[in-house]
Structure 1
Amino acid sequence: MSETLIPELPQELWRAGKLELAHGATHLVQVIRVASACLGMYLAEVETRGAEDLFGHGNAASWFAEIARISLGDARDTVNRALALNPAPVAGGETAVFAPATAAAAEDGAIGDQHIDLILDILRKIPAGEREGADKILAGLARHAGPRELAEAGANLLAHLDPDGNEPKDPEPAPPRREVFVERRGDGFWKLSGLLDPETGARTAAILDAHGARRPVDESGQADHRTMPQRYGDAWADVLDLATACPDQPGTAGYRTLVHVTVGLDALKTGLGTACLDFVGTITAREARLMACDCLMIPAVLSTAGEPLDVGRMRRFVTPGQRRALNIRDGGCAFPGCHRAPKHCHAHHIQHWADGGPTDLRNLVLLCSFHHRLIHHGDWQVRIAGDGIPEFLPPQYLDPLRHPRRNTLHHVT
């Protein structure tokens, strides 16, 4: 085994250049892997001699879980990995290593636990006579490849050795296992968790990647600083918008999400105060104003005395014909510099419907969720110009004269 020393960290790590940072991190990864291989030798030796005789434990995994203060399951995985990569007794009093090429790569610090577990899982499915060659192929590949490439190579090896695969036990495939849990927390937020089969999980990851890409910088000058979980959360909201806008959506007839909001009339007009969402949650009145633009929201507007003044005004919602006209006119989010397509946009009331604004094309503009919120909560303003095209007035801190701007990305002029 090659001797590897832990490098000294610079006294001021923030002064380190990118090469020094890269070399330090790479070297420490190798140190960790070599140390893991050394630990495996000790654990294999303890298991071979007998942990009960040495330390009074039934097996090496139980003893290791105690000294490392980890779960028995994690300790068992570590010991099983060690036994496969170190000499173990076989018939006739001799010793042998289950995966010697993989063990050599682990001792060099070239591969880690994830590589090792993948290789061992593949080798256990290969007949003993073919295992040595497969071990050399996979260990050699693992020195330079990632887990995905290694898994694909293993699948190809198994297919080559057994092209027909295992005989199916049941002609009827088992239904995929999918579980989704939606739980409302005490603070009003919702916790989403679940388990998806491989195909559905891959499709979910792909669509979140596509919809969760960073926003290009628009004319507001705001860069996208969202973390990946935040971008995935916004992507999930976009996917819900697309699903609920589908004409075949059960129970909604193509309208956006149906929710119930109870809000005071003054709060709805001013945007100050709170509203009750679906009788269980609380949102701000400003959020209620934003949702009311293009969401199938049934508002229960109350007077100052709590008397219901209005329950539902379905006529204010954009009709399918109006939506098609908006899609043609604006071509997508009308905010200057935004690339978002019509399917990702809300129909925003320029003069809010609560303030008497009509639901017609002269009072509507397409906005993506980000710019919809920016218009409601920021200093930008939107209006319809004399030629019927939306134009936006920037804040004075961006343009003291507030020259109107338009989005030129969706149409060739």
Structure 2
Amino acid sequence: MQKIAELSRRGAAAELGYRNVAQVLRHAVRWDLKTARQWVARAEVLAREVTPFGSVLEAELPVTAVAVAEGSLSGEHISAVAEVMKELPPEAEAPVVEFAQAHEPSAVRAFGRELAYRLYQRDAEPQEVVEQAPVNRLRMEWKGEQLEVWAKLDKVAGAKFEAMIDPLAKPRPTTPEEGVDPRSRAEREGDAFADLIDLMLRADRLPEHGGEPVTLTLTMSYENLAGKTGFATLDNRVRVPATLVRRLACNAGVIPVVLGGRSEAVDIGRKARTFPAAIRRLLVARDQGCTFPGCDRPPKHCDAHHVKFWSEGGETSVNNAALLCRHHHTLIHQSDWEVKLHNGIPTFVPPAWLDPDRTPRTNKTHRTGRHAA
């Protein structure tokens, strides 16, 4: 567990192009992502931390860490103790660990709930919530690098929104490469909301803004885009890293802004969809969905990805493209996975750290016969 915690502290996941250490463990030791996340969470609460000044900080659950070192608690017990301690003060850890050493994890959770009730039973009861008149409200606020969205919809609008989100939020299929979908319901619905935004941006009928269809404008130097360094700037001055810009450039309405040596805008190209409808139809006929091994996302949930990156001179053609869902499109741009076309079939080469032989893999989930395209 100490090694897992060390991987987290060193930022190993980002160096390898993965979102977090759990995803690295999933591919490295073939754990399903749920198990990997559990072990990462356990490592984080048990491991000591060394500050940049050399000071050693105690573990979040020091009593539990001692019991684990003695071999008296299993992994499931660690998770149970960590779960109940979220609702308890630090001084309650000792009796919880003592109970855990003699009982199964489910009993530890029940013991924790009972202990929390006894500690907080004198708290005031929550006031009754007064039902508000049905109105539609939306609030958006940037917090750091994320946009926080809060919405309240009436019954009709809410039902429509739920009907659109539900099919997009279903779990990804279980695959040998990635195991079962580890995302919580909230995470799946959040990703579904992002997918819905992508679907709307590809729609033909959208309201105009400033006299032209809704457009996302990013400004950065071509050298930074090609070199995968630096960042682009949105109209609202939010910075976007170059790796994300490269993914957006694969399948979006793009307005190229060429900057001179002093950052003067010397040329502004016209907006054009990188992959026109005719090419996308051919890709749908050939790929029939996301081409990453084991993924079953349908074409409408996919972007068209340049096999040779657009920023590196890759042409916009069916012979230089593959359909990828948003999750796997991001993975391809941020990790050492490679995609190539072999006899017209998108073929994926895993990173060397995952497969030293780098054996090519294809998606056998969709129907065969892609050569027809």
- TM above 0.5, yes or no, is yes
Q: Determine if the alignment matches structure 1 residue 177 to structure 2 residue 135.
A: yes
Q: State the percentage of identical aligned residues.
A: 33
Matches within 5 A, 1:106-255: 177-185=135-143, 187-205=144-162, 207-221=164-178, 224-251=181-208
SS of 1:177 mapped into structure 2: coil
Matches within 5 A, 1:196-345: 196-205=153-162, 207-221=164-178, 224-251=181-208, 258-312=215-269, 314-315=271-272, 317-345=274-302
CA contact (8 A) 1:316 1:359 kept: no
1:13 maps to 100
> In the superposition, relative to structure 1, how do residues 228 and 299 fare at CA in structure 2: closer, same or farther (>3 Å)?
farther
Cα shift readout 1:140-198 (whole Å, capped 9, x = no counterpart): xxxxxxxxxxxxxxxxxxxxxxxxxxxxxxxxxxx96211122334x243221121113
SS of 1:259 mapped into structure 2: coil
Structure 1, gaps ≥5 residues long: 1-7, 40-67, 78-113, 122-174
**In the alignment, residue 291 of structure 2 is paired with which amino acid?**
A
2:365 maps to 409
Question: Offset of 1:312 from its aligned partner?
Answer: 2.9
2:23 maps to none
2:257 and 2:102 mapped to 1: Cα distance?
60
Question: Offset of 1:250 from its aligned partner?
Answer: 3.7
1:362 maps to 319
1:132 maps to none
1:100 maps to none
> In the superposition, relative to structure 1, how do residues 228 and 289 fare at CA in structure 2: closer, same or farther (>3 Å)?
same
CA contact (8 A) 2:254 2:274 kept: no
TM-score by length of 1: 0.57
Cα shift readout 1:304-359 (whole Å, capped 9, x = no counterpart): 43133542354561111111111110000011111111010001111122221111
CA contact (8 A) 1:316 1:358 kept: no
1:15 and 1:310 mapped to 2: Cα distance?
73
Q: Which has the higher helix share?
A: 1
CA contact (8 A) 1:184 1:191 kept: yes
CA contact (8 A) 1:211 1:238 kept: yes
Q: Determine if the alignment matches structure 1 residue 392 to structure 2 residue 348.
A: yes
> In the superposition, relative to structure 1, how do residues 13 and 311 fare at CA in structure 2: closer, same or farther (>3 Å)?
farther
Number of aligned residues: 270
CA contact (8 A) 2:255 2:272 kept: no
SS of 2:189 mapped into structure 1: helix
Question: Offset of 1:244 from its aligned partner?
Answer: 2.4
2:159 and 2:115 mapped to 1: Cα distance?
32
SS of 2:151 mapped into structure 1: strand
**In the alignment, residue 395 of structure 1 is paired with which amino acid?**
P
**In the alignment, residue 397 of structure 1 is paired with which amino acid?**
W
CA contact (8 A) 2:174 2:181 kept: yes
2:282 and 2:325 mapped to 1: Cα distance?
17
**In the alignment, residue 20 of structure 1 is paired with which amino acid?**
A
CA contact (8 A) 1:316 1:353 kept: no
> In the superposition, relative to structure 1, how do residues 326 and 15 fare at CA in structure 2: closer, same or farther (>3 Å)?
farther
SS of 1:262 mapped into structure 2: coil
With a CA cutoff of 8 Å and minimum separation of 6, indicate the structure with the bigger relative contact order: 2
> In the superposition, relative to structure 1, how do residues 219 and 359 fare at CA in structure 2: closer, same or farther (>3 Å)?
farther
Runs of at least 4 residues of structure 1 off by over 4 A? Answer: 21-29
Cα shift readout 1:214-272 (whole Å, capped 9, x = no counterpart): 323435336544344332221110111222222333449xxx96200100121111110
**In the alignment, residue 104 of structure 2 is paired with which amino acid?**
G
CA contact (8 A) 2:253 2:273 kept: no
1:350 maps to 307
Question: Offset of 1:294 from its aligned partner?
Answer: 0.5
CA contact (8 A) 2:231 2:241 kept: yes
CA RMSD of aligned residues (A): 3.4
